[in-house]
Amino acid sequence: MTAPLPPFRVLRPQAIEAAVAAGAAPGGARYLAGGTDLLVNLRRGLLAPAVLIDLGGIAEFADIRCTDQRTRIGSGVTLARLATDPAVGARHPALRAAAVAVAAPGHRNLATIGGNLCADTRCIYYNQSEWWRRANGICLKSGGEICHVAPEGKRCHAAFSGDLAPALIALDAVAEIAGPGGRRRIACADLYAEDGRAHLQLGGADLITAIELPAEPVRSGYLKERVRQAFDFPLAGVAVALATETGRLSMLRVAITGTNSRPFLVENTAALLGRAVDEELLGQLDKLVQKQVRPMRTTLTPAGYRRIVAAALARRLLASLGASAAASVA
């Protein structure tokens, strides 16, 4: 072994209330879900909490329940299970595709849906060893004064790189939160803010307990571009959900990850509704995406490519989902 993890205590509550109480206790605690993001960051010295609250002991976190109205997924459900659960696959293809696209099989056996939603943002200047960050000058996100990506600016541009969030946003999912103030529900799209240092709109003791998705049938899909076809974060990831009536779009939601500090729902898609999916429409979506993504130099792959490829993926998904919709009408 080369370097030990920083010292911390591990608590393993059996109930949500106990977890939240521990999370709210003073002294700095972090929730530990699958650990595939958090432990890597701990190993790199990116954070050093005194307490980790292991969520693996909370039985109800591991439930998937399907009713006629909705799908309810406990926040501790692993990505491996999401990828293989027949009901999830049949109802929410985008979610299944996103789960399969994360990291590699071993990670997916550990990683959870809640953890993936709460994954830290990433940047080539941030996800480095302590020696590296010190030698290079501590960045804004690490507690320094300057963002190496955009030194003239005041904010951190680290990119959100989770794969599940865009799928859940496109599928209009809602997150159930337990916190010191009780329970509440937030649309997944509203969980995030465009700030690489504080991208989660949750308090430190807030805990995602479950995700709910509407069960009505929509076509959906997720595509991810990366250098390698496994073991890689998205350069851009795009989820599309749509519905059609008599061959025309009646609903369209497009959500994107990997390009901004938050996963976000592409705006102004309403203008595309009521129309058939054709080249002109695809071109308009392409423009909307290119205009709204904000890739920065947070990856070794150039930002300009991430912009183009985000649009290309959105276009491809809309074309294929739109075509299969047309086929089923015919």
Partner 1 sequence: MLDDGRSTRGKRILRVRLNGLWREDAVADNQLLVDYLRESVGLTGTKTGCDGGECGACTVLLDDQAIPACLTLAVRCEGRSIETIEGLAAGGRLNRLQRAFHEHLGTQCGFCTPGMIMAAEALLRRQPAPSDQQIREALAGNLCRCTGYVKILESVRAAAADA
Partner 2 sequence: MHNAPPGRRRPTPAAGVPLIDGIDKVTGRARYTADLEHRGALVGRILRSPVGHGEILRLDVTRARRLEGVVAVVTGEDCRHTYGVLPVAMNEYPLARGKVRYRGEPVAAVAAIDAETAARALALIELEVRELPAHYDTASARAPGAVLLHEDRPGNIERAVHHVFGDPAAGFATADLVREACIDCAEVNHAQIEPHAALAEYDPQTARLTMQSVSQVTFYLHLMLARCLQMEESRIRVIKPFVGGGFGARVEALNFEIVTAMLARAAEGRVLMELTREETFITHRARPQTSVRIKLGLTRDGRLTACECEVVQRGGAYAGYGIITILYAGALLHGLYDIPAVKYDGYRVYTNLPPCGAMRGHGSVDTRHAFEVLLDRMARELGLDPFAVRRRNLLVAPTRTLNELAVNSYGLADCLDRVEEASGWRGRRGHLPRGKGLGMACSHYVSGAAKPIHWTGEPHAVVNLKLDWDGSVTALTGAADIGQGSSTMVAIAVAETLGVPIERIRVVAGDSATTPKDNGAYSSRITFMVGNAAIDAARRLKKLLIAAAAHKLGEDPENLDCLGGLFGSTRATQTTLSFADAAKAALVNEGTLTVKGTFTCPPEAQGGKHKGGAVGSTMGFSYGAQVVEVSVDEATGRIVVERVWIALDCGFAINPLAVRGQIEGSVWMGMGQALMEETRYLDGMPAHASLLEYHVPTSVDSPPIEAYIVESIDPNGPFGAKETSEGALAGFAPALIAAVADALDVDLDQLPATPDRVMDALVARRRRQRLQHQPAGDAK
Which residues of this protein are in contact with partner 2, per CB under 8 A?
1-4, 104, 124-125, 127-129, 131-132, 134-136, 148, 225, 227-233, 300-302, 304-305, 308-309, 312-313, 315-316
Q: Is 1 in the site for partner 1 (CB under 8 A)?
A: yes
Tokens of 74: 């406990």
Which lies closer to partner 2 via its Cβ, residue 172 or residue 225? 225
Q: Which of 217, 179, 177 has the alpha carbon at shortest distance from 321?
A: 217
Contact window for partner 1 (CB under 8 A) among 35-43, 257-265, 282-290, 315-323? 35-43
Q: How far is the CB of 76 from partner 1 (least distance, A)?
A: 13
Look at residues 42, 22, 97, 105 and name the one whose alpha carbon lies nearest to residue 317.
Answer: 97
- Is residue 8 near partner 1 by the rule CB under 8 A? yes
Nearer to partner 1, 142 or 260 (CB): 142
User: Taking CB under 8 A as the rule, does residue 35 contact partner 1?
Assistant: yes
Pick from partner 2, partner 1, none: which does 182 bind, CB < 5 to 8 A by kind?
Answer: none
Question: Per CB under 8 A, does 103 bind partner 1?
Answer: yes
CB of 246 to partner 1, least distance (A): 38
Neighbours of 126 (CB within 10 A): 27
Q: Does 11 bind partner 1 (CB under 8 A)?
A: yes
In this structure, the number of other CB atoms found within 10 A of the CB of residue 327 comes to 9
142 SS3 class: helix
- Tell me how many residues contact partner 1 (CB under 8 A): 36
Nearer Cβ to partner 1 (66/110): 110
Quote the strand ranges of the chain, DSSP E.
9-11, 29-32, 51-54, 64-66, 70-74, 174-179, 182-187, 207-214, 219-225, 236-245, 248-257, 264-265
The item of partner 2, partner 1, none sharing an interface with residue 201, based on CB under 5 to 8 Å by kind, is none
**φ/ψ of residue 121, rounded to 5:** -75, 165
CA-to-CA separations, 197 to 122, 124, 142, 171, 274, in angstroms, rounded: 10, 14, 9, 26, 39
Q: How far is CA 79 from CA 155, 156, 188, in A?
A: 32, 29, 17
Cβ-proximal residues to 182 (8 Å cutoff; 6+ apart), any chain: none
Binding status of residue 308 toward partner 1 by CB under 8 A? no
User: Which range in 5-13, 69-77, 205-213, 270-278 contacts partner 1 by CB under 8 A?
Assistant: 5-13
DSSP label at residue 158? P
Whichever of 154 and 228 has its CB closer to partner 2, that residue is 228
Query: Contacting partner 1 (CB under 8 A), which of 16, 24, 62, 110?
Result: 110
Q: Cβ-count burial of 229 within 10 angstroms (0-12 exposed, 13-18 middle, 19+ buried)?
A: exposed
For 299, residues 6+ apart whose C-beta sits below 8 A from its C-beta are 124, 159, 235, 306
Q: Which positions from 206 through 245 interact with partner 1, judged by CB under 8 A?
A: 229-231
* Residues of this chain that bind partner 1 (CB under 8 A): 1-2, 4-13, 18, 22, 32, 35-36, 39-40, 43-44, 52, 54, 56, 80, 103-107, 109-110, 129, 229-231
